[in-house]
Amino acid sequence: MNEIELNTRYGAPGRIIFRKGHCGYPEVAIACKYGSAEIALLGANVLSYKPTGHVPVLFRSAKRDYARGESVHGGMPLCWPQFGKLAIDGMAAHGFAKIMLFRVKSTRYSDEMTEITLALESSPDTRKLWPHDFRLEFTVTVSSKLNLKLETFNTGDAPFEFTAGFHPYFLVRDRNATAVKGLDGLEYVFAEDMTRGRQDGDLAVNRALDHVFELPEAPKHEFALVDPGLRRAIAVASHGARRAVVWNPGPAAGLPDLAPDDWRSFVCFEPVTDWPKAGNVLEPDESSVLLAAIQSTME
């Protein structure tokens, strides 16, 4: 469907609006009294989230044009069916969902929230990259928080293994002044060289980081990114994650869609089902859910 057809079927004036986005693919803006978000149907990337009266929560580079198939460093890309590049032999880093066009499954809204669910099913294109039958559903809800639900369904007749993750780029005033709370005492692996360590106190994000933290068994995990420069804290709660990743590449990044100093303006905090190998085994007709909630609090 094009954006006109999508607005006719799924839109709602002032609440759910589809428009043409990058590469000519549709994007959608959803809003309620608490805030707004923008999502690209290409890759189901949450491009922006802005609570009412706040500065934006997600970082986006000024270099926003990119071709289908390229990595995107900004917004909140989806990582599926693998996080990183070690779980599935021969697959691109962070999987292929980020380069696939999702369809709109449903939209809904009330006085308290606005929501969209996007879906991606196995197809000849996906089977060239991964041989399994699946359905992926991604629900984004704007309410007093930004709520995210990624559900994986095994629609085939054989089990498969996968990993999944949310990869938000949180906007900060100055990376070097920020810290992540909630990681004290946790074991981590530095993904660049696979060295191990144990976190002592809050994690100061004052250097290049690619730290993968092992989360304890618990129904929910809660963290906060504290940014004195913007005088705010971004709280992240997750369910279904066994790992949490803190990433910032520093000045040596050299990524083509980032300006030279963009690394100063974001910190990635990423709830992940597992890493480095695929720890989720999904039997036929089963499903698995990864949840996250993001809330911005200003001083």
Known catalytic residues are: 167, 270
Angle (nearest 5°) at CA 21 between 15 and 27: 35
Cα(first)–Cα(last) distance of the chain, in Å? Answer: 43
Q: What angle do CA 145, 137, 171 make, to 5 degrees?
A: 40
Tokens of 31: 């809003």
Q: What share of the chain is helix, strand, coil (3-state, %, to 5)?
A: 10, 45, 45
Q: In what order do the strands lie in the sheet with 35-40?
A: 16-20, 26-32, 35-40, 45-51
Token readout for 51 is 């609570």
Find, among 49, 46, 45, the residue nearest to 31 by Cα.
Answer: 49
Peptide bond into 81 cis (omega under 30): yes
d(CA 113, CA 187): 37
Contacts of 71 (CB under 8 A, 6+ apart): 77, 93, 94, 98, 255, 257
What distance in Å separates the CA atoms of residue 191 and residue 169, rounded to the nearest whole number? 18
Q: How far is CA 44 from the centre of its chain?
A: 9
Query: Coil, helix or strand for 50?
Result: strand
Residue tagged 């068994």 (tokens) = 217
DSSP 3-state of 133? coil
